[in-house]
Amino acid sequence: MEKILLQEFLENSIGSYLGVMASILLALFCKRLVSKYFATLLYRIVGKKSDMIRRKSFMELVVQPLDVFLVLLVSLIAVDKLNFPRVLDFNIYHLTFRQLLDSAGNATLIIVFIWLCIRVIEFIAIILEEKANLTTDQSDNQLIVFFKDFFKVILVIVGILLIFRFAFNKDISNLLTSLSIVGAAIALATRESMENLIASFIIFFDKPFVTGDLVKGNTFSGYVEKIGLRSTRIRTLEKTYISVPNKQMVDTIIDNISLRTQRKAEVRLELSVRATSTELALFTESIRQMLSVQKAVENYAVFLSDTGKNAHLVSIEFFAGMQMSIEEFNLLRETINLSVIKKLEDSKIELAASNLDVVITQQ
């Protein structure tokens, strides 16, 4: 048995191969136990020990990358104890095969480590989002999403630099100098993207709108679902999903409908010049009485706004609370419009035109 173990294959004894395999198998069998132990230690830093729901979420996020990281680390350490066979010592382009394997192993280890760090950031973001949901201010939620994405990008950049340093043995200081020059050139070439990035910071700190607000621009109206590094995602009233560059959201006039105190509707009636002053007075008074009994109408105004040789112009304005949904507001408009038409029929007043001109100044 001892002779078999001492027999060599590719410049390593069979016993050495068995030792490496045993180490890897032991890591595979014990990975979950060791991962949970390290995950528990890490949870004590970023979470609360008494919160079992958060602990379970943290374990689901962290244990898998920890498993891969531990198995990969043990495998690399164990394989490193073997002598590299001379038969495999050949060059691929300017690298030896051993250098290529070492670089691949180190790069994979760094990638898994960055994956683990990203999962920790996601868990911290979950905790912060839970706390932010306890407040009515939605700006906290969008800041959490923004900085979560921001730190993920930073981690990816750090991971790339670590790969260059430890996998390809490149001098990071020179690389950073080169990257700064390249970055300046890229910044000039991608000026619009940089402007969108700066605009995203303006949106977060100036807060003209937050996630969940109903906004209206020159060519769109909808609810803000997400504010990203480059663009703002909006679910339009037509239920489409659009991405608007942040620079456009900052530079153009954006009407934040959610910040309005009331919804306003305006009806303009062009009445026949044959209507007498008494008929017009009775008609406007009947409209006021009709609006006064509408519980959803908070205030209103009815008046003869203009007159001329072609028509008498009667303006009807009414306001409803912002707590009313779009569907409820449209139903209220329909009810009032039908009541106005009924009043016209009862008063025998004709329209100067064949249509009822309705202008909605706010939604």
Does the pLDDT at position 357 exceed 60? no
Does the pLDDT at position 213 exceed 60? yes
Are the folds of 196-258 and 261-359 the same? no
Domain boundaries, the chain: 2-189, 196-258, 261-359
Q: Are 347 and 274 in contact (CB under 8 A)?
A: no
In one-letter notation, the amino acid at residue 150 is F
Q: Indicate the length of the chain as a whole number.
A: 363
Does the pLDDT at position 286 exceed 90? yes
Q: pLDDT digit string (tens) for 232-273?
A: 999 998 889 999 999 989 888 899 988 888 888 999 999 998
Give the pair of three-digit tokens for residue 45.
């830093």
Least confident of 53-62, 231-240, 303-312: 53-62
- The CATH class that applies to domain 196-258 reads mainly beta
Q: pLDDT digit string (tens) for 104-116?
A: 888 888 898 898 8
Neighbours of 165 (CB within 10 A): 16
Pairwise CA distance, residues 229 & 254, whole Å: 19
The pLDDT assigned to 143 comes to 72
Pick the CATH number of 261-359 from 3.40.50.300, 3.40.50.2000, 3.40.50.12780, 3.30.70.100: 3.30.70.100
Quote the pTM value. 0.50
Q: What is the average pLDDT score of the chain?
A: 81
